[in-house]
Structure formats: C-alpha cells, structure tokens
Amino acid sequence: MIERTVVRCAEGHMFSIASFPMQQLGPDRIGPGRLIRCPRCARLRHAVPVALAKR
C-alpha cells in the first residue's frame, strides 16, 4: 500500500502526494521542506508536510 502525505505549498495550497521524499536527508539538512510541483498552480513550490489533527 502506498502511503500518502498531505503537504502545503508556499502559496498555501494543500494537496497529497504518494510519498514525501525524506529518505535523502543527511545530518546537514535543515528543515523538512522540498521543492514539489504544485498541482493547483503548476509551479515548483517549497512544500512542507501538514500536521493533521486526529479525530
């Protein structure tokens, strides 16, 4: 089963992706953000995972 992650781009658009590419992180990396093509505005944007509230 593919795990999906909800992210928010720098423009504020929220969308889900198949996987948030965190496995390339090294000890030097600061912050969880990545450049991802936003499906809403079709541009490369800085995106970070969204903490979803448990119901």
In a domain, 3, yes or no: yes
- pTM exceeds 0.75 for this model: no
- Structure tokens that stand for 44 in this block: 């490369």
Tell me the per-residue pLDDT of 20-36, one tens digit each, with 9 for 90 and over. 555 554 555 556 678 88
In a domain, 28, yes or no: no
Instruction: Look at the alpha carbons of 33, 34, 40, 42 in this order and tell me if their dihedral is positive or negative.
Output: positive
Domain count of the chain?
Answer: 1
In a domain, 25, yes or no: no
pLDDT computed for residue 55 by the predictor: 59
Q: Walk across the sheet containing 14-17 and list its strands.
A: 14-17, 5-9, 44-49, 34-37
Range of the structural domain that residue 47 is part of: 1-20+33-55
> Does the pLDDT of residue 18 top 70, yes or no?
yes
Is the distance from CB of 6 to CB of 52 less than 8 angstroms?
Answer: yes
In a domain, 26, yes or no: no
> Does the pLDDT of residue 43 top 60, yes or no?
yes
